[in-house]
Amino acid sequence: MNGSRQANAGLLADLLPQIEGLAADVAVIPPAVYLQQVQELIADSAVALGAQNLALSTAPGAFTGEVSGDMLKDAGCSLVLIGHSERRALFGETDELVAGKVQAALSTDLTPVICVGESEAEQTAGKTTAVIERQVRAALKDVTAAQAEKIVVAYEPVWAIGTGKTATPEQAQAVHAQIRGLLAELAPGRADGIRILYGGSVNAGNAAELFAQPDIDGGLVGGASLKAQDFAEICKA
């Protein structure tokens, strides 16, 4: 819940010239009320637009306060976050709801960026592997092998979000390798083409080392994305 029209305009004015021509694919994911403004600001760039959430229902109707996938497409979005740790922790989103939203995104031709990750308590208790397997299997239970080519998975250890703590490259790689293995089972022959992002206090100082790992394909950037110079350095990494 960050941003204002003035802040958005300033951030993108500083950011876009620094990332023009990069080989990396870059997306920005603002709050829903700023989607139209940001789409206009990035219209002449290669930067994609994403949303932070979407409604479970794909049909229009009496769902006050919700935003459907079709509405997000109409606003210029090509991707949407699903199951972010804050949605799970603060708003009670379950594995089943996440699975439903994955289908809602796919049915409206949006790329679902499916967030999975363990809490500090789960990590301390040695449950990381079990939590990740449960969340990935649940999210993809109705996804066909062909649909799997459209998804992105983001590993965000909850204990490393906004805390300044970061999984070591080796820790992050181990979980990403686990996710890759699950994808190979759930979508045979397609796992290598599915992007797996790391999202846990990614910053300009650790991005290159994280992205050098074989199964870390990019970053889901939080606080550092609010600073144009930092975000640009991450994109360059």
Q: Give me the residues paired with residue 51 across strands.
A: 80
Reported as half-sphere exposure (CB side, CA atoms, 13 A), residue 235 has a value of: 23
For residue 211, what pLDDT is reported? 97
Catalytic, 133? Answer: no
Whether the full predicted model's pTM is greater than 0.85, yes or no, is yes
Spot the catalytic one: 84, 86, 93, 233. 84
For residue 160, what pLDDT is reported? 83
With residue 147 as reference, give the H or E element that holds it: helix 145-148
Which of these ranges, 14-18, 80-84, 89-93, 165-169, has the smallest mean pLDDT? Answer: 165-169
- Quote the CA–CA distance of 94 and 82 in Å, as a whole number: 11
Q: Mind listing the pLDDT tens digit for each residue in 186-214?
A: 999 999 999 999 998 899 999 999 999 99
For the chain, the average pLDDT equals 95
Catalytic, 84? Answer: yes
For residue 201, what pLDDT is reported? 86
Whether the predicted pLDDT of 163 surpasses 80: no
Q: Mind listing the pLDDT tens digit for each residue in 222-234?
A: 999 999 999 999 9
Q: Mind listing the pLDDT tens digit for each residue in 114-160?
A: 999 999 999 999 999 999 999 999 999 999 988 999 999 999 999 88
- Work out the pLDDT band at 79, boundaries 50, 70, 90: very high
Q: Give me the residues paired with residue 80 across strands.
A: 51, 112
For residue 167, what pLDDT is reported? 85
Q: Which two tokens stand for residue 185?
A: 């089972």
Position 20, amino acid: E
Task: Return all residues near 222 (Cβ < 8 A) that are at least 6 apart.
Answer: 161, 162, 199, 201, 202
Q: How far apart are the first and last CA of the chain?
A: 26
Position 118, amino acid: E
- Work out the pLDDT band at 42, boundaries 50, 70, 90: very high
Task: Write the Ramachandran bin of 173: left for phi over 0, alpha for psi from -120 to 50, otherwise beta.
Answer: alpha
For residue 15, what pLDDT is reported? 98
Spot the catalytic one: 93, 118, 156, 233. 156
Q: Which two tokens stand for residue 11?
A: 């951030």
